[in-house]
Chain A
Amino acid sequence: MLRAALAALVLYLPSTLSPAAAAAGDEVVDIVAPFEIVDVDPSITGDLFLRMNVAETLVGTDLDGRPAPALASDWTLSADARVWRFRLRQGVTFHDGSPLTAEAAVGALRHAMGKPGILGRAPITEIAADGDGVLVRLSEPFSPLPAFLAQYTTVILAPASYDAGGRVQRVLGTGPYRVASLQAPQRLEVERFDGYWGERPAIRAAAYLAVGRSETRALMAESGDADFVFNLDPASRIRLGRSPKLSVQSVPIPRTILLKVNAGDDLLRDPRVRQALSLAIDREGIAATILRFPAAATQLFPPSVAAWHHPGLAPLGHDAGKARALLAEAGWAAGADGILAKDGRRFSLTLVTYPDRPELPLVAAVLQEQFREVGIEVAVNSTSSSEIPARHQDGTLQMGLAARNFALVPDPIGTVLQDYPPRGGDWGSMNWSDPDFHKAISDLIALSDDAQARPLREKAVAILQAELPVIPIAWYQQTAAVSRRLLNVRLDPFERDFGLAGMRWAP
């Protein structure tokens, strides 16, 4: 037994100890990020194929998140604002050599409509081919439609990608890179596609690896196994920033840590109580110690989302004394153990959060402490992210701590429509409505002139700030560690693109 084992190992070792050549150092850009390749369907993993420049959408975004031409070269809106026509770019071919036709694009969009995604949230009645363009008919005017068609669930794949049942079997996109090999759930290799319609990228090939643990990702950047490591934890970010071989880049992104509160709950119905909760939070402390960015939220939208950030709003602040005063005004008095009580009922709440983003349970623990200081007892339940929508629906949620992405659609209106409708949204308001707010939002989506939009957005944001159906806590920055040998790396604030096609190796 021993001898056999020894022989096996001796045979095995030489190949093992060869230099780590497959890592960095060759022409292939090694990209590491936490996102697993669960399935090849765009409704599930479209974001990764978009980020890796394999698949493209009809509409893209510019640096400010405004719709920009992509597979559609331009678009027009009918006089009654109910029919959009997207004209397709000419001379585009899919990775299987077939041409991008209006029929192919319509087919891909219809498949997307049939699956959970963003298109089901727009008032679309029909998608049809029209010569060299795609017609989208609506039941009512809906100005954010181009932004919806920039979302990853709407990437355009070749007809040969789908089987008879509409399931995606292969990812045949139109991007500058095509899939060379795919080993779900962790590895994707891409190579330059010579038939690409746009500018030819400098990088020949790239390999993507999904690594869930942030410690491992950081060490892969440090050891040179990866050239581009996406999403660093705060401690690693600071350590890697001192490495001479790496540059650590960061960009503010439209994602906000917020506390969703059930405004219909007996304890949380009074707006003064929600204001007290907000005043009890030391946002700067949380940002400095947990996120390690000066990113305390003064309102829901960060300044980087210029259209929705309202500089004139009085900032949300920290004032525990004022919080206690507001709670006393609402009839709450401290009991023997310091926890508030009213009519024999303790002020005790449950907060649900999820560990998929590792900072959330930490923020929850700090909130628990800070709320306790004003006399509110909080039990933290860190569980599946799906518990927040599930408990929203069955009405049992009291508070949910989430990191909400306002760039689900590059225009935050997509998330606002989903999260703050009059009946409430899974990740937004719960048992809260305000006629002026809903009027401002419905006016906004019917509007085609952007100049009139600004006052409406400011009005809506001011109402959210006053009523606090959700309590903003901190804004986010996306970070990446990049090998100094890799040039032209630009982080996309809308998280649609790793920027592979624009990168090049240092000479």
Chain B
Amino acid sequence: MGPVSRIPVSRILGYRLFQALLVAVTVGLLTFVMVRSLPGDMAYRIAAGRYGYDMVSSDAANAVRAELGLGGGGAAALALWFLDLFRLDFGESVISGRPVLEEIRHQLGHTVGLSVAAILLSVLLGPPLGIAAGLRPGGALDRGLLVAASMLRALPHFVVGLILIMLVSAGLGILPAAGHGGTENLVLPALTLALGLGAVSARVARDAMVQVAASPYYAFGRVKGLSEARVFLRHGLRNVSVPVVTYLGVQFVGLIEGVVVVESLFAWPGIGHALVHAIFSRDVPVIQGTALVMGMMFVLLNAAVDLACLWLDPRKQAS
């Protein structure tokens, strides 16, 4: 890390810690209220989640109601959840009976692996192309990239994923279509996500590059007699990186949205897939636990983005 002074770092961390607390309380309250206000009888929905459509019946729903004490008041259940939270006890899934923390750990690992691979791939694909386009605005690459980025951004992940499976797995037969276990299973889902992310970061990098290349300090670098490559490495790269990295923070939201679709398409046992199932079957402890962990991850990632930007842009560092 560069010469970062203490004041802004501690301010960033303090602010984010406060945010984390706020997220915990809000997520706990909101998920609870929202799930309770969803239409349909909870006992029936849980029974459908457990026993499936062939076996869900009023008998099964009544057994669930008695087992989980669903007749009780909502306020008491919410207070209990917060109390358990302070002891870092997330409770047990009402569907599978396994501890929520155990389920999240298993799923989160898969989702984090997929997300990290997707971000790395997108960083590798998007910004370099964007920078190249930004160095020659209006050129063939720039125009081609605009069309490609718009198309990739406009296509839903579901379609991109299916096209990739058809081309790469069914057509060429070089990668598995779906499943998990081996690293080769990771490539297609990660690429599906990365194409959407890279499309946007390419545009951000391209616009930033155009701006930087037009700035007086960039011109001064050239006047000074530096080669194109040198002037880019000395005066361009770091300045372009700030908006690209900042934008990464924003992209995490889009990533979560994509993960839900991509995980079920590729049969990837991640948290997005699990969250959708939990909502369908009113698995409140799992919804609360998952939403909380995801909220915390956002806070953590945003803190990391703040620190990265601070390091990249010395002007923001307090003297």
Contact A216 B96 (CB under 8 A): no
Q: Which residues 183-211 of B have a CB within 8 angstroms of A?
A: 183-184, 186-187
CA distance A393 to B41 in the complex (A): 11
Contact B96 A9 (CB under 8 A): no
Residue-wise, chain B 137-176 has the 8 Å CB interface mask toward A (1 for contact) of 0000000000000000000000000100110011001111
CA distance A223 to B166 in the complex (A): 9
Nearest CB in chain A to that of B162: its residue: A215
Q: What chain B residues lie within 8 Å of A223 (beta carbons)? A: 165, 169-170, 173, 176-177
Nearest CB in chain A to that of B269: its residue: A186
Residue-wise, chain B 44-83 has the 8 Å CB interface mask toward A (1 for contact) of 1101111111111111110110000000000000000000
CA distance A12 to B182 in the complex (A): 12
Q: What chain A residues lie within 8 Å of B232 (beta carbons)? A: none
CA distance A213 to B53 in the complex (A): 17
Contact A390 B41 (CB under 8 A): yes
Contact B96 A116 (CB under 8 A): no
Number of A-B contacts (CB under 8 A): 172
Q: What chain B residues lie within 8 Å of A427 (beta carbons)? A: 57
Partner of A392, one of B58, B95, B96, B266: B58
> Is residue A489 contacting chain B, with contact meaning CB distance below 8 A?
no
Residue-wise, chain A 337-348 has the 8 Å CB interface mask toward B (1 for contact) of 000000000000
Residue-wise, chain A 476-493 has the 8 Å CB interface mask toward B (1 for contact) of 000000000000000000
Contact B61 A386 (CB under 8 A): yes
Residue of B57, B61, B120 most packed against chain A (CB within 10 A): B57
> Is residue B264 contacting chain A, with contact meaning CB distance below 8 A?
yes
Q: What chain B residues lie within 8 Å of A43 (beta carbons)? A: 51
CA distance A84 to B111 in the complex (A): 52
Contact B267 A211 (CB under 8 A): yes
**A356 shortest CB reach to chain B, Å:** 5
Contact A15 B166 (CB under 8 A): no
**B239 shortest CB reach to chain A, Å:** 13
> Is residue B123 contacting chain A, with contact meaning CB distance below 8 A?
yes
> Is residue A350 contacting chain B, with contact meaning CB distance below 8 A?
no
Nearest CB in chain A to that of B53: its residue: A385
Residue-wise, chain B 98-117 has the 8 Å CB interface mask toward A (1 for contact) of 10000000100000000001
Nearest CB in chain B to that of A120: its residue: B59
CA distance A23 to B176 in the complex (A): 7
Contact B53 A356 (CB under 8 A): yes
> Is residue A448 contacting chain B, with contact meaning CB distance below 8 A?
no
Contact A12 B183 (CB under 8 A): yes
Contact A8 B184 (CB under 8 A): no
> Is residue B308 contacting chain A, with contact meaning CB distance below 8 A?
yes
Partner of A167, one of B44, B47, B97: B97
> Is residue B314 contacting chain A, with contact meaning CB distance below 8 A?
no
> Is residue A212 contacting chain B, with contact meaning CB distance below 8 A?
yes
Contact B117 A186 (CB under 8 A): no
Nearest CB in chain B to that of A30: its residue: B179
**B37 shortest CB reach to chain A, Å:** 16
CA distance A184 to B107 in the complex (A): 10
Q: What chain B residues lie within 8 Å of A39 (beta carbons)? A: 50, 95-98
Contact A9 B121 (CB under 8 A): yes
With A212-B264, A389-B58 in contact, is A184–B40 under 8 Å at CB? Answer: no
> Is residue B256 contacting chain A, with contact meaning CB distance below 8 A?
no
With A44-B51, A386-B47, A426-B57 in contact, is A184–B182 under 8 Å at CB? Answer: no
Nearest CB in chain B to that of A40: its residue: B96
Contact A219 B44 (CB under 8 A): no
> Is residue B178 contacting chain A, with contact meaning CB distance below 8 A?
yes
**B231 shortest CB reach to chain A, Å:** 17
> Is residue A5 contacting chain B, with contact meaning CB distance below 8 A?
yes
Contact A384 B280 (CB under 8 A): yes
**A410 shortest CB reach to chain B, Å:** 14
CA distance A405 to B54 in the complex (A): 7
**B267 shortest CB reach to chain A, Å:** 4
Contact A2 B127 (CB under 8 A): yes
Contact B44 A389 (CB under 8 A): yes
CA distance A183 to B169 in the complex (A): 24
With A219-B169, A386-B45, A386-B47 in contact, is A209–B58 under 8 Å at CB? Answer: no
**B198 shortest CB reach to chain A, Å:** 12
Contact B54 A22 (CB under 8 A): no
Residue-wise, chain A 354-393 has the 8 Å CB interface mask toward B (1 for contact) of 1011000000000000000000000000011111011011
Q: What chain A residues lie within 8 Å of B60 (beta carbons)? A: 116
Partner of A386, one of B56, B181, B245: B56
Partner of A213, one of B44, B174, B265, B277: B265
CA distance A39 to B266 in the complex (A): 21
Residue of A116, A402, A405 most packed against chain B (CB within 10 A): A116
CA distance A220 to B177 in the complex (A): 5
Q: Which residues 407-447 of A have a CB within 8 angstroms of B?
A: 408, 418, 426-427
> Is residue B290 contacting chain A, with contact meaning CB distance below 8 A?
no
Q: Which residues 26-60 of A have a CB within 8 angstroms of B?
A: 35-36, 38-39, 41, 43-44
> Is residue A451 contacting chain B, with contact meaning CB distance below 8 A?
no
Contact B175 A20 (CB under 8 A): yes
**A49 shortest CB reach to chain B, Å:** 14
Nearest CB in chain B to that of A116: its residue: B60
Q: What chain A residues lie within 8 Å of B245 (beta carbons)? A: 1
Contact A1 B178 (CB under 8 A): no
Contact B48 A1 (CB under 8 A): no
With A5-B123, A18-B184, A384-B45 in contact, is A222–B170 under 8 Å at CB? Answer: yes
CA distance A183 to B177 in the complex (A): 19
> Is residue B21 contacting chain A, with contact meaning CB distance below 8 A?
no
Q: Which residues 317-347 of A have a CB within 8 angstroms of B?
A: none
**B71 shortest CB reach to chain A, Å:** 16
**A386 shortest CB reach to chain B, Å:** 4
**B93 shortest CB reach to chain A, Å:** 9
Q: What chain B residues lie within 8 Å of A227 (beta carbons)? A: none
CA distance A39 to B283 in the complex (A): 14
Q: What chain A residues lie within 8 Å of B187 (beta carbons)? A: 16
Partner of B120, one of A5, A20, A216, A220: A5
Contact B50 A386 (CB under 8 A): no
CA distance A492 to B98 in the complex (A): 32
> Is residue B180 contacting chain A, with contact meaning CB distance below 8 A?
yes
**B162 shortest CB reach to chain A, Å:** 6
> Is residue B124 contacting chain A, with contact meaning CB distance below 8 A?
yes
CA distance A38 to B47 in the complex (A): 12
Q: What chain A residues lie within 8 Å of B177 (beta carbons)? A: 216, 219-220, 222-223, 225
Q: What chain A residues lie within 8 Å of B120 (beta carbons)? A: 5, 8-9, 12
A-B CB contact pairs (8 Å), 20 listed = A9-B124, A16-B186, A18-B184, A20-B173, A20-B174, A23-B176, A23-B179, A39-B50, A115-B63, A167-B97, A187-B181, A209-B267, A215-B162, A219-B177, A220-B176, A225-B178, A386-B56, A387-B40, A403-B53, A408-B54
Return the 10 tightest CB-CB contacts between A and B, nearest first: A385-B53, A386-B48, A386-B44, A223-B169, A116-B60, A211-B267, A390-B44, A39-B96, A223-B177, A222-B170
Q: With A22-B176, A219-B165 given, can you name 19 additional A-B contacts, CB distance below 8 Å? A: A2-B127, A5-B120, A20-B173, A39-B98, A116-B60, A213-B265, A219-B162, A222-B169, A223-B169, A223-B176, A223-B177, A225-B177, A354-B53, A357-B53, A383-B40, A386-B47, A387-B44, A389-B57, A393-B58
